[in-house]
C-alpha cells in the first residue's frame, strides 16, 4: 500500500516537473539575475520535485530490499522449525518403538 502511494506521488511529481520544464523557455532550472519572483519560485519547485522523486525512488528500493530480507529470514526460521519438529518426531517414534518392544516381552 505504501509503495503504491510512493509510486503515485513520484508519477505526479514527475508530470509536474515535465509540465513546468516544458512551459519554460530555458531548459535548466537556474534563474537569471533579473528573474522575477515566479521564475525563482518555479526553479525552487523544480529542485524540490527532483529531490522528492530521488528520495521516493530510494525509499521504494530500500523497502523492497527490506521485504526480501524479511522473507528470507522467515524462510530460514520456518526451515529450522521443520527440522526441529522432524527431530522431535523421530525421538517420539523411537520411544514408542522401544515401549512396544518392552510390551512384547
Which domain covers residue 81, as residue numbers? Answer: 2-104
Element (H, E) at 58: helix 37-104
Q: Categorize the per-residue pLDDT at 100 as very low, low, confident or very high, splitting at 50, 70 and 90.
A: confident
Q: Which three cell numbers stand for residue 69?
A: 530480507
* Largest CA-CA distance found in the chain, in angstroms, rounded: 107
Specify the number of domains making up the chain.
1
Give the per-residue pLDDT at 37: 77
Residue 33 has pLDDT above 80, yes or no: no
CA distance 54 to 32: 26
pLDDT tens, residue by residue, 51-85: 888 888 888 888 888 888 888 888 888 888 888 89
| Higher-scoring residue by pLDDT: 40, 15 | 40
Residue 1 has pLDDT above 70, yes or no: no
Amino acid at each position: 500500500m505504501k509503495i503504491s502511494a510512493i509510486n503515485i506521488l513520484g508519477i505526479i511529481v514527475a508530470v509536474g516537473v515535465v509540465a513546468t520544464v516544458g512551459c519554460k523557455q530555458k531548459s535548466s532550472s537556474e534563474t537569471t539575475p533579473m528573474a522575477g519572483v515566479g521564475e525563482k519560485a518555479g526553479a525552487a519547485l523544480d529542485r524540490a520535485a527532483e529531490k522528492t522523486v530521488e528520495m521516493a525512488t530510494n525509499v521504494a528500493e530500500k523497502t523492497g530490499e527490506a521485504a526480501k530480507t524479511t522473507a528470507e529470514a522467515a524462510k530460514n526460521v520456518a526451515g529450522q522449525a521443520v527440522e526441529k519438529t522432524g527431530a522431535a518426531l523421530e525421538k517420539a517414534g523411537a520411544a514408542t518403538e522401544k515401549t512396544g518392544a518392552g510390551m512384547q516381552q
